[in-house]
């Protein structure tokens, strides 16, 4: 009986200590909310394009150094790596945020709206954090500050990854997660697991979405050049019209999805985003070019669709006496959530956000280069609500648009989620 009472006493002490630690941690997180919002607004007001995040990187590096975190800069051009070594042995956990903005002119009327101008592909453009990367950086800076205050109790090491060029490096340049991995971000120390999040303008604040397995699509780029025979616009029969052929190819590409792809397996998309050809109204040109994107969530389907694009374009062109050159550039892989890691960590998200606020989502045809980290080690990538509660999902402006808007009251849940995922994983896998 005494033995039983002794065990019960130690269990009660442990539970009490655990509860006190959790309460203390929550207090630290809640105290930092105003800082996270301030950082987010600063980034939002001063956005920088992909591979040009120089001032952004300086702000992040300065903050991490102020916390006593070991910092490495200039990874993949402007990337920042922070290493926080805990006081106890354990796993090495990677936490990632992306840094770059988009060539979008902001229309949202907020005091910290971006007025930044730059040049993109030779054109003068506005620059805006129109995908929420400003919130991702602010959230991870908040996580770094919170964890630095409890580093003596950390059972392992945290690697903070601030990554440039998630939206894609400028033409002719390398960048993003692929280059970060190439330059060794996952080593020294060797990361065991990686977590990341993405704010969503269409998901209500306080909510979290996740999906085991393939959660975001592979994104590949294609170019099709149709070559015909130039002639006078009044005599189309004396030439071969590449514009008409291109129109037929565009329609043919859509039948690959609607009639030749098993969509009950996974979703897939082929989109032609630009078509150009000709210089005058009365000249049928010699060449027409189209470019577009391919989104797939299954490797087998990805290969099959690539083959069908080549076959469809070349055969339609040949049927009209023209020729088609198809170039497919492999882009981001499928963003894959390790099923076992997801299963183990979902209780953490339930405890953080409330089980009713955490839901399984369907796969998304958007793409994310977090996929490169998750190809190296088990990864979990989830979506964080950023839509005001009084705005319907139908009325919320999509990402990559001038009216994109995020409710900052949702940022604190991001800090809590990444912090708790890191701590709980360490607890589960410590020696």
Enzyme catalytic residues: 100, 166
Q: What is the DSSP string of 153-220?
A: G-EEEEEEEEES-TT-PPTT---HHHHHHHTTTTTTTT-SEEEEEEEEEEEETT-EEE-SEEEE-EEE
Q: Which two tokens stand for residue 210?
A: 């996740």
User: Rounded to 5 degrees, what are φ and ψ at 116?
Assistant: -70, 140
d(CA 243, CA 143): 53
Residues 6+ apart with CB under 8 A from 249: 224, 226, 290, 312, 313, 316, 317, 324
DSSP 8-class letter at 236: G
- 296 contacts 302 by C-beta, under 8 angstroms: yes
Residues 6+ apart with CB under 8 A from 187: none
* Short-list 144, 152, 166, 147, CA closest to 48: 166
Say whether the peptide bond before residue 177 is cis (omega within 30 degrees of 0).
no
- 55 contacts 136 by C-beta, under 8 angstroms: no
Give per-residue burial for 347-381: e unless 16+ CB within 10 Å, then b.
ebbeebbeeebbeeeebbbbbbbbbbbbbbbbbbb
Helix, coil or strand: residue 244: helix
- 77 contacts 51 by C-beta, under 8 angstroms: yes
């Amino acid at each position: 009986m005494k033995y039983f009472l002794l065990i019960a006493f130690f269990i009660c002490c442990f539970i009490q200590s655990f509860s006190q630690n959790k309460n203390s941690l929550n207090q630290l997180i809640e105290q930092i909310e105003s800082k996270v919002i301030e950082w987010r607004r600063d980034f939002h007001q001063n956005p920088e394009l992909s591979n040009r995040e120089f001032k952004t990187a300086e702000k992040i590096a300065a903050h991490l150094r102020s916390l006593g975190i070991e910092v490495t800069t200039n990874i993949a051009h402007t990337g920042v790596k922070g290493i926080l070594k805990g006081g106890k042995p354990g796993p090495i956990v990677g936490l990632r945020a992306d840094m770059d903005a988009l060539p979008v002119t902001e229309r949202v009327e907020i005091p910290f709206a971006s007025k930044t101008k730059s040049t993109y592909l030779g054109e003068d453009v506005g620059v805006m954090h129109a995908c929420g990367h400003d919130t991702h950086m602010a959230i991870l800076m908040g996580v770094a500050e919170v964890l630095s205050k409890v580093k003596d109790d950390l059972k392992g090491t945290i690697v903070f990854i601030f990554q440039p060029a998630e939206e894609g490096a400028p033409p002719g340049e390398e960048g993003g997660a692929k280059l970060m991995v190439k330059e060794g971000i996952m080593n020294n120390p060797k990361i065991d697991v990686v977590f990341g999040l993405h704010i969503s303008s269409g998901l209500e604040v306080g909510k979290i979405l996740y999906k085991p397995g393939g959660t975001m699509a592979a994104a590949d780029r294609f170019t099709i050049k149709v070559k015909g025979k130039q002639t006078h616009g009044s005599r189309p029969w004396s030439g071969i019209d590449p514009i008409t052929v291109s129109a037929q190819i565009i329609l043919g590409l859509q039948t690959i999805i609607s009639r030749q792809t098993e969509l009950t397996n996974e979703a897939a998309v082929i989109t032609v985003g630009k078509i150009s050809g000709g210089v005058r109204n009365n000249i049928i040109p010699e060449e027409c070019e189209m470019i577009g994107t391919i989104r797939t969530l299954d490797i087998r389907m990805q290969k099959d669709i690539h083959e069908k694009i080549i076959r469809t374009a070349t055969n339609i062109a040949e049927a009209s006496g023209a020729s088609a050159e198809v170039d497919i550039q492999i882009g981001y892989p499928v963003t894959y959530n390790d099923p076992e890691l997801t299963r183990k960590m979902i209780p953490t998200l339930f405890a953080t956000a409330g089980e009713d606020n955490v839901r399984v989502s369907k796969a998304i045809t958007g793409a994310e280069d977090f996929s490169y980290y998750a190809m190296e080690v088990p990864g979990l990538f989830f979506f964080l609500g950023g839509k005001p509660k009084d705005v319907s999902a139908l009325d919320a402006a999509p990402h990559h648009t001038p009216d994109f808007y995020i409710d900052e009251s949702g940022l604190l849940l991001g800090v809590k989620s990444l912090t708790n995922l890191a701590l709980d994983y360490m607890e589960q896998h410590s020696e």
